[in-house]
Structure formats: structure tokens, C-alpha cells
Amino acid sequence: MLKLLLMELYTQKKISFFIPVILLPLFLSLGDKISGTDMFPTLIFSLAVGFISYFMTSYSNSNTGETDKLQYKLLLSLPVSRTLLISAKYVMVCVWWLISYAWLMLVLLILKYVAHVPIAQPIFNWQVAFFSLCCCYFMNSIFYPLYYKYGFRVANVIGILVFFTLSNLAGKINSLPIPANFTALLFDYPLAAFATFTAVLILLTYTTTLYIFTKADY
Amino acid sequence: MKDEEHILEVNNISKKLKGFELQQVSFSLKRGYIMGFIGPNGAGKSTTIRCMMGLAHIDSGQIKLFNTDSHTNMKALKQRIGFVYDQNVFFEDLTVEKNRQIISMFYDEWDDKIFYDYIHKFGVPLSTPVKSLSKGTAMKFALAVALSHNAELIIMDEPTSGLDPIFRKELLDVLQEVIQDANKAIFFSTHNISDLEHVADYITFIYDGKIQFCKETESILDHYVTVKGPKSLMELVEAHRPLAIKSSSLGFEAFMEKEQLALLNTSPDFKIERPALEDIMYYLVKSKNDKGA
């Protein structure tokens, strides 16, 4: 597993490691203009980190067509099982998230202590960390089965659509009155609810991706 | 010598693809030998190799590597297999050295010394991205990788296609060096049949997804003859049902089994020759096509 993770790091296009530097200030400046409940800035930061780490993950799989087939021809000829390859892809999501989140903290530190920009958010916010990890897994869980079934282009377009739908949904949910029925629990514990939903989605899509990849011929 | 005599056994494998089918493909390869896998383009060579490497799933049959069902533990079996494909499958944006770093991680018995020896011998530049290598140099790199982890079975899919004759000769020399170790075996698919005549101990011929024969090279070369003669004698030869015959305004050339030759009253006007492997494949394909037409 460790070898596959290292391979992913080695083969990642160098530019993608610096994508957060370009995108984070954009998201951070947007965050200042958005108002809402207490949870809302957390949501925005989480979506920003989630999207950036999703971008890094999808970029590491951005080979298309014949190049993609050749890459798997190599990987499957090496002493590596198909199950391990897919498992490594899912574990790697966590690594890309960690890099994105580290960048977020670094950018916040620079803004706060070097540029003296007033930042309301604490540098390390466990809610942002956890929620962004969930966002990243949520998007990648949708990306991977589509990627292995239909290729990078289809999966990437749908992945980005999911991100914008998720952002919209976050805004909608934020403006809804808190219901009185049992769904109120979701509003009381949004992180737990989203994490549970993401965990179920990961399990489902991991199984589906594994099935697709195991059955595929290269 | 390891316990298992057969390093590779392919037993009745079938695989259906769009517009093509591998049908009951069977052959086996012993340690210490080179097997040439020949056939025209689209005959099923690459599909068979993909099945052997676990890249494609077989519909039925069995593939045994090192006397173990390939389904049982393909991951461990691949430690013992070196592969060379006709296309550049490596990380093309990365340098040769970076590719080595990545690939070597996966092999328990990777030997950097062997790798660098081959790299220097073949003149492969370590700091060049793989995508900038010429086809010949990329093939040399692939060969260095295949030979650097003490693989017992080397599987090569069209390694000589598109290469110049000098490198093709060099490659065959390397293969002959490798096979000096009686513990190893080489499975080598090609349609450049002339490459094989001097190095392959066994030839497996596949056509239209079916194995036509799997025999010792010498016995194949001894099994067939070509008979050339003036047109006036063509009918005489045709009466003995040659596998294929072609005529021109000057004469004819018939391809037949040696046994048939014994039945033919050989005229001094006949010119009887031992065909090259390339001619054998050509005539066998031609005879199949003629029968099918």
C-alpha cells in the first residue's frame, strides 16, 4: 500500500501541488463576503479545501484514453493486486486532502501574521478539517466509479457538477427553517450527519469501483 | 533446477472479444527454453499475453505460472515475471531514473546493479523523460526493467516491432545470454519471424484465435518443403494436394508437408527447398484463407 501511495506522489504532476496557493486566496476572499449562520463560514472553508483536494485527486488521474490504458497495463503487470490499487486510490484521497489543508493553514498563517489581514477563523479548526475531509471523500466517491467506468472526462465533469450542487445545497439548507420533526437531528448535528452519509457513500462506491475495476480488461 | 518443469502452461483458454475470439488456446513452456509466439496481426497474440499477465480475464480454461494457477496468487507470481510490451507503458512524463525508482519499489528482488549495467550497455540516458526516448531506446529501457529483478519468466509482446535490424539483433543476443540460465524461460511474440529462427527453441503459431501448432523449431522447419518447378509440372504437384500453391508465367511454387513429397515422383526439374519460418507462416495463413474463401 505504501509503495502505491508513494507512486501516486511521484507521478502527480508538480503543478497540482501549487494549485491550492492559487485557489485558496480566492475562496478565502469569497468567504469574507458571505454571511450566514455560525456554521456557514466553516462550510465555505470546508468546501474550498474539499474542492482543492478533489482537484488534486482528479488531476492525478487525468490521463485520458490510450495513455490511461497503458498506465494500467503497467500497473497491472507489476506485482500489485487490483484490490490494493483501488484501496490505495481511496487512501490517497486523504493524502491530497492533508496537503490541501496544510496549504490552507499556511495561507491563513501568512494572511494573519505576515499580511496582518483580520481572519475570524482560527488557524486550525477541527470542524473545517473534518468537514473538508468529508467533502473531499464525497466528491471522490462519486468520481472514482465514473472514472473507472466511463473515463476521466465524464467523471471530472460530473465531479465538478457535484461540487456546485453541494455548494448550492449548503446555501439552501442554511436558509431553511429548522424543522421540528426527526430531520431536526440532521440540523443539530450537521457534521455527524454529513460524515455518516459520506461514510455510507464511500463504502458503496468503493465496492462498485472495485467491482468495475476487477472486471475490466486492459 | 526448480521443482516445476513447466514454467508456463496455458490450458484451453477462451476469451470472447468484440469481433474476435480466442478459442481453446493451449501450449506450455519449459524452463531453459525460448518460445516464439507467431501469427499475423490480429491473430490473438497480444490477447493471449494479456490473459497470461492477468490484464484480461479469460472466459474459460486455465493458466498456470510456475505450476500455480494464475488466479491463486497473481501478485506473488508477478514477482517472478519480467514483461516487455510493444508500447511504452511507463510513466512517460518522468525520467528513466524516476521510473526506476517507482518500479523497483514493487519488486522484492530488484537489483540496481543489473539495471544500471543494462542501462549503460544499451546506452539509455537516465535523466531523459521516457516520452522523449526513441522507440528503440524505450524498448531497451523496458528490457532493462524486465531483466533487473531476477525474473524467471520473461514475457515479451512484439518487442522488435518497429525496431531497426541492428537493435533487433542486439536484443536477440541479450535473450540468448539470459537463457544461459537454465532456470529461466522466455516467451516472445512477434510477427518478425526471421528474428526467431535462430533463437527460439519452440514455436507456437496462432491464427484466427486458434493454435495451429506448438512444436520444436527444428521439427517445424523439417516438417515442410517448398517445391518449385516449371508450369508443365504443376498439375502433377496439384494432384498431391499441396497446402498452398502459387503460379506465375514462368512456373509454380508449392508448399507441402514433407510426407507428401515422398509420394511425389520427383522430377529433376523440381527444385525442393527447406522453407524459412516466415514462408511456413505465410503459406499456412494462405492455405487457411484459401480454404475459408
CA distances from A44 to A37, A160, B96, B211 (A): 12, 16, 42, 63
- Using a 10 angstrom Cβ sphere, with 0-12 exposed, 13-18 middle and 19 or more buried, the burial of residue B159 is buried
CA distance B24 to B32: 26
Number of domains in chain B: 2
Same domain for B146 and B208, yes or no, is: yes
Q: Cα dist. B127→A175, B110, B123 in Å?
A: 57, 20, 12
Res. B189 pLDDT band, cuts 50 70 90: very high
**Assigned domain for B90 exists:** yes
Query: Chain A residues with CB inside 8 Å of B46's CB?
Result: none
Q: What is the pTM of this model?
A: 0.83
Q: In terms of domains, do B39 and B141 share one?
A: yes
Does B53 share its domain with B127? yes
Q: Is the ipTM of this complex over 0.95?
A: no
Cα radius of gyration (chain B):
21
Evaluate whether residue B82 is within a structural domain.
Answer: yes
Please choose, from the candidates B21, B14, B75, B3, the residue with its C-alpha nearest in 3D space to the C-alpha of residue B207. B21
Q: Is residue B1 part of a domain?
A: no
In chain A, the residue whose alpha carbon lies closest to the alpha carbon of B87 is A70
Task: With beta carbons under 8 A apart, name residues in chain A contacting B98.
Answer: 10
> Does B236 reside within a domain?
yes
B160 shares a domain with B27:
yes
Q: B131: nearest CA in chain A? A: A67
Of B188, B220, B252, the residue that ends a domain is: B220
- B12 and B137 fall within a common domain: yes
- Helix (H), strand (E) counts: chain A: 9, 0
The CATH number of residue B212's host domain is: 3.40.50.300
Q: Does B87 contact A70 at a Cβ distance shorter than 8 Å?
A: yes
Range of the domain at B71: 6-220
To test the contact with chain B by mutation, choose from A12, A71, A73, A77 the residue with the greatest count of B C-beta atoms within 10 A, namely A77
| Residue B56 Cα, gap to closest chain A Cα (Å) | 4
Whether B150 and B263 share a structural domain: no
CB contact under 8 A, B106 and A217: no
State whether B253 and B283 are in the same domain. yes
Q: Which of B157, B189, B220 is the last residue of a domain?
A: B220
Query: Which residues have a Cβ under 8 Å from the Cβ of A164 and sit 6 or more positions away?
Result: none
Domain boundaries, chain A: 24-215
Q: Which residue has the higher pLDDT, B101 or B136?
A: B101
Q: Please tell me the predicted confidence (pLDDT) of residue B178.
A: 87
A window 5-24, beta carbon within 8 A of B: 6-7, 10-11, 13
Q: Which residues pair with B229 in a beta bridge?
A: B252
Residue B19 lies in a domain: yes
- With CA atoms as reference, the chain B residue closest to A217 would be B56
Cβ pair A10:B106 closer than 8 A: no
The residue among B220, B255, B270 that closes a domain is B220
Q: What is the pLDDT along chain A (218 residues), one digit of tens a residue?
A: 888 988 888 888 777 777 767 666 665 665 555 555 556 667 777 777 888 888 888 777 766 555 777 888 999 999 999 999 999 999 999 998 898 888 878 877 877 787 777 766 677 778 878 888 888 898 888 889 999 888 888 888 888 888 788 777 766 766 666 555 656 666 667 778 888 888 999 999 999 999 999 998 98
- Nearest residue of chain B to residue A68 (CA atoms): B89
Q: Are residues B253 and B132 in the same domain?
A: no
Whether A67 contacts chain B with CB within 8 A: yes
B197 and B243 inside one domain: no
Considering the domain architecture, whether residues B145 and B190 belong to the same structural domain is answered as yes
Q: Do B17 and B67 sit in the same domain of this protein?
A: yes
pLDDT digits (tens, 9 = 90+) for B98-124: 999 999 999 999 999 999 999 998 889
Same domain, yes or no, for B213 and B287?
no
* Residues facing B154 on adjacent strands: B82, B186
